[in-house]
Every structure is written in structure tokens, then in C-alpha cells.
Amino acid sequence: MPTSEQLEAAPLPLTALSGEEKMFQATVRKFAREEIRPYVREMDEAGLFRKDLIKKFFEMGLMGIEIPEQFGGQGGTFFQAILAVEELSAVDPSAGVIVDVQNTICNNALIRWATPEQKAKYLPRLAENMVASYALSEAGSGSDAFAMATRAEDRGDHFLLNGRKLWITNAAEAGFYLLFANANPEAGYRGVTAFLVEREFPGFQVGKKEDKLGLRASSTCELILDNCRVPRENVMGEVGQGYKIAIETLNEGRIAIGSQMIGLARAALEHSVAYAKERKQFGKPIGEFQMVQYELARMATEVEAARLLVYNAARLRDAGMPFLMEAAMAKYYSSEIAEKAASKAIEVHGGVGITKDYPVEKLYRDVKIGRIYEGTSNIQLLTIAKKLLVK
Ligand SMILES: Cc1cc2nc3c(=O)[nH]c(=O)nc-3n(C[C@H](O)[C@H](O)[C@H](O)COP(=O)(O)OP(=O)(O)OC[C@H]3O[C@@H](n4cnc5c(N)ncnc54)[C@H](O)[C@@H]3O)c2cc1C
């Protein structure tokens, strides 16, 4: 928590960045524009993210932003991870979510909950070359995540895991899965336990890959656990503490989904402004018509408002201050305005907006998931309402 002296000092504007943050933001922006942008359409059509780009994410330190330097990471902040996700998502929201899942839910959970031995074993690999997935959801348990059917049977020195996980981001590329299973179903959610699962563990298999509307380059797969043998030392936290790890990790992760959405909404705005200057109707650029100006101005205002919510939630998290309601608001609002921005961007483009010759068609497909994953909009509203109504 900040000291009272620190709080008494004149606070900075929410969008003010430190010198280091500015440099980091500029580096990621340049990388995204120069090295990812040329492949965005190809990757969307193929439904595959290029391995060489993921390798570059690691080389640039983007997969281990908060991992302490002693483990080969960047020793950076959560806020930096938020900046990276925004910059990548402004070029390709699939790139944004790969880096988001790695940093803000997987690495983040290990940094907070893993034992010194688990950290020493996995954090250096997560910083260097191992993609991670976060496996909570199942076919029968989405919003009601702890109603999961995957079971973990205690066999002394190991657990046997049986069940199926669904919708797991990064699963095709991952070597490591932070996976939740219930080790004591009679105890309900208090049986949920977090396991560190390696792809090579016997009985573990990556199943069907989803053929999606948007975020097509980001893999989303089923995981199959058939007597998957996980050593006891790969339980993270206590047996039965997994629900707490899952909730607290997702509370942070959803700020990064807000960041993915502001990156996407910013892209919708930038493409719309450029097109409004260039496209002529009735003898003048369409940007000279007040009704088009109105749409652009409204989009810009909403992107700025969403950014303030996201940055504030991230700053609160880094300051060790409560941020639960602010994170839910940031994710809820950013995903709502991003969907509006992507839709309006197509309208500003007119007919060409729905063709693949212009980038806004893809943004419109990519944006839909923002209101669904890491807690649907309804679930965010429930969290906010609970904070308002329950003392
Ligand atoms: C592309 C993609 C990537 C994903 N990545 C991951 C991942 O990496 N790891 C992971 O574990 N999961 C992942 N998910 C799963 C995602 O988190 C769930 O899809 C999400 O939580 C919603 O669950 P559901 O799909 O079962 O919908 P449901 O929970 O069945 O919801 C259906 C509808 O009912 C509403 N609803 C449900 N309960 C309530 C309630 N109490 N009050 C009001 N409304 C309610 C919801 O808001 C929604 O509109 C991913 C999903 C997708 C599509």
C-alpha cells in the first residue's frame, strides 16, 4: 500500500507514463506495426499464429514481463503487461491474447502462488520459450466455473486427473497448463485444486481446435485428461485452494482483456479517421460531413474513457490497492465500447468495410469474444452490483 506521504503528493494524470513505460510502449508499438502487421491477414485466414512471431515475443521479453529477473524475466510491472497487450491488440487482437494469457493469468499466478521449487523449475522456461495456458472452463461449467466435472484423485505421491477442459487459449502452442480440477467433490468449490501440468505428462492430450468467428489466429482447444498423472509437487497452493487462485487470478486477468479491447477499439478509430479523410462523396471527403465527425468524436471519447478505467485498474493493482470493482468495470465497459467502435468503423467505411480488403471486417469479428471470456458482461455486472449492495 502507498504511504500517506505518497498519497499526499500531487497525483499524476492517469494516462501519464514513466520514461521507461514510454520506451517500452514505443518498442512494442514499432514491433507490432513492422513485424506482426504484414502477417495479420495470412494468420487470420490460416487460423494459425506464426511460430517465428511467438519466438520473437520471447526474445523481446514479452512473454515474461513480470517474471523477476532472477528467473530470466523482465522484472516489469503488471501495467507494462497492460501496455503490451494494448499495443499488440491494436494490430492483431490474437497477438494480444497470446501475451495476455501468458503474462496476466499464468505467469502472474505462479509468481504469487508457486513454491520456490515450482518457481525455479517453471518461471525460467516461461520467460524463455514455453507458452502457457490457463485451463478452468469445461463444457458444463463456464460462468459457473467451479461446477467443473474434472476430478483429481489423490494417489499419494501423485494425482490422477480425469475429465475434459474446453475453450483453452494458447493450448495448441502451449507446453504448460495451469489446470484446475476438483480433488474433493463432496466439499464443492472447496475441493478445486490448481495443478501445474506439462504437455508431456502421461494421460494428457490436446483435443479439438475450435473453428472460430474471430481471434482466429489464437488457438482455442479442448484438453483431454485420461488418468493424467501429475506429481504431488505440481499442486500449486494447497489442495482445495484452487478456487481462490482462480478467482484472484481472473480478477487481474480481466484488466488485460480490457486492454485488449481498448487496443482493438483504438484500431477501429484510427482506420475510420484515415478512411474519412480519404474517401470522397458529394465532392468532398466524408470526414467533412458532421454526422461522420460525430461518430468519430464519440468513438474517440469512449476509447479514452475505457483507457482511463483500464489504466486506473492496473495502477491500483500495482499499488497493492483494492481493484476488484474497477477491474470488472474496466472489462465490462471496454468490451462494450469496442464492440460499438468496431461496428461503427464498418459503417464509416461503407460497403468496403465488410470486405477482407479492409482491416475493420476482422476487428468486427475479433471484438465479439471480449464480452464473453474471463467473465461475460453479465458476470462483470454481477461483481459490480455485489460490491455496491453487499457490505
Ligand atoms: C475464444 C475463447 C477463449 C477462451 N479462453 C479460455 C481459457 O483460456 N481458459 C478458460 O478456462 N476458459 C476460456 N474460455 C471460456 C470462457 O471463459 C467462457 O466461455 C465464459 O466464461 C462463458 O462461459 P460459457 O461459454 O459456458 O457461457 P455460459 O456460462 O453458459 O453463459 C451463457 C449466457 O448466460 C449468461 N449467464 C450465465 N450465468 C449467469 C448469471 N448467474 N447471471 C446472469 N447471466 C448469466 C452469460 O452471461 C451468457 O450470456 C474461452 C472462451 C472462448 C470462446
Task: State the pLDDT at residue 176.
Answer: 98
Task: State the pLDDT at residue 152.
Answer: 98
Task: State the pLDDT at residue 11.
Answer: 82
Task: State the pLDDT at residue 391.
Answer: 66
Cα–Cα nearest to 246, from 380, 384, 106: 106
Ligand 1 contact via 376 beta carbon (within 6 Å): yes
Q: Which among 105, 143, 215, 221 is the best mutation to test ligand 1's pocket, defined by most ligand atoms within 8 Å of the CB?
A: 143
Q: Which among 105, 144, 167, 371 is the best mutation to test ligand 1's pocket, defined by most ligand atoms within 8 Å of the CB?
A: 167
pLDDT average, residue stretch 21-28: 98
Which tens digits make up the pLDDT trace of 214-260?
Answer: 999 999 999 999 999 999 999 999 999 999 999 999 999 999 999 99
Which tens digits make up the pLDDT trace of 289-302?
Answer: 999 999 999 999 99
Lowest mean pLDDT among 7-16, 132-141, 186-195: 7-16
pLDDT above 90 as % of the chain: 96
Task: State the pLDDT at residue 8.
Answer: 74
Ligand 1 contact via 378 beta carbon (within 6 Å): yes
Q: Burial level of 244, CB count in 10 A (0-12/13-18/19+)?
A: middle
| Ligand 1 nearest atom to the CA of residue 171, by list position | 8
| Ligand 1 nearest atom to the CA of residue 133, by list position | 8
Residue nearest to ligand 1 atom 50, measured at CA = 167
pLDDT average, residue stretch 254-278: 98
| Ligand 1 nearest atom to the CA of residue 210, by list position | 1
1: pLDDT confidence band, cut at 50, 70 and 90? low
Ligand 1 contact via 372 beta carbon (within 6 Å): yes
Which tens digits make up the pLDDT trace of 304-360?
Answer: 999 999 999 999 999 999 999 999 999 999 999 999 999 999 999 999 999 999 999
Q: Is 35 a catalytic residue?
A: no
Question: Separation of 167 CA from ligand 1 center, angstroms?
Answer: 9
Ligand 1 contact via 220 beta carbon (within 6 Å): yes
Ligand 1 contact via 25 beta carbon (within 6 Å): no
Ligand 1 contact via 168 beta carbon (within 6 Å): yes
Backbone angles phi, psi at 77, to 5 degrees: -110, 165
Task: State the pLDDT at residue 7.
Answer: 66
What SS3 string covers the chain? CCCHHHHHCCCCCCCCCCHHHHHHHHHHHHHHHHHHHHHHHHHHHHCCCCHHHHHHHHHCCCCCCCCCHHHCCCCCCHHHHHHHHHHHHHHCHHHHHHHHHHHHHHHHHHHHHCCHHHHHHHHHHHHHCCCEEEECCECCECCCHHHCCCEEEECCCEEEEEEEEEEEECCCCCCEEEEEEECCHHHHHHHEEEEEEECCCCCEEEEEECCCCCCCCCCEEEEEEEEEEEEHHHEECCCCCHHHHHHHHHHHHHHHHHHHHHHHHHHHHHHHHHHHHHCEECCEEHHHCHHHHHHHHHHHHHHHHHHHHHHHHHHHHHCCCCCHHHHHHHHHHHHHHHHHHHHHHHHHHHHHHHCCCCCHHHHHHHHHHHHCCCCCHHHHHHHHHHHHHCC
Ligand 1 contact via 230 beta carbon (within 6 Å): no
pTM across the whole model? 0.97
Which tens digits make up the pLDDT trace of 48-86?
Answer: 999 999 999 999 999 999 999 999 999 999 999 999 999
Q: Of 4 and 159, which is predicted with more confidence?
A: 159
Residue nearest to ligand 1 atom 24, measured at CA = 142
Is residue 158 pLDDT above 90, yes or no? yes
Is residue 9 pLDDT above 70, yes or no? yes
pLDDT average, residue stretch 152-156: 98
Is residue 172 pLDDT above 90, yes or no? yes
Which position has the grid cell 464473453?
372
Question: Separation of 373 CA from ligand 1 center, angstroms?
Answer: 6
Task: State the pLDDT at residue 231.
Answer: 98
Ligand 1 contact via 246 beta carbon (within 6 Å): no
Task: State the pLDDT at residue 5.
Answer: 73
pLDDT average, residue stretch 106-116: 98
Q: Which among 100, 134, 137 is the best mutation to test ligand 1's pocket, defined by most ligand atoms within 8 Å of the CB?
A: 137
